[in-house]
Amino acid sequence: MAKETRTEKQLPEDYRWDNLERQAESNRLRFYKDLLRYLGSHGSTLVKEIGCQDTELRGILQELGEEISL
């Protein structure tokens, strides 16, 4: 979303969408989870609030993690 809204420069370079896309398919989910964890603890107040309130996303990630044994 940050890339689409041209606000991606506000994110640390290692935690941007293009970095996620460059990951090997087998590592994308793990990278995405790490990205969300990092931004949730180091990001702006808004990013932290979104991460804490998005229980649906956490549930989806948990399900995916269980399916592929992460």
DSSP letters for 18-63: HHHHHS-HHHHHHHHHHHHHHHHHHS-HHHHHHHHH-HHHHHHHHH
Residue 25 within any structural domain of the chain? no
Number of domains, the chain: 1
Res 28: pLDDT: 92
In a domain, 2, yes or no: no
- Structural domain includes residue 13: no
pLDDT at 55: 59
The model carries a pTM of 0.57
Q: Report the chain (70 residues): mean pLDDT per 10 consecutive residues.
A: 76 86 92 84 65 60 58
pLDDT on residue 47? 62
pLDDT for the residue numbered 6: 79
Check residue 51 and give its pLDDT: 53
Q: Could you tell me the two tokens for 8?
A: 């991606």
Does residue 53 form part of some domain?
A: yes
Domain around 43: 39-70
51 domain-assigned: yes
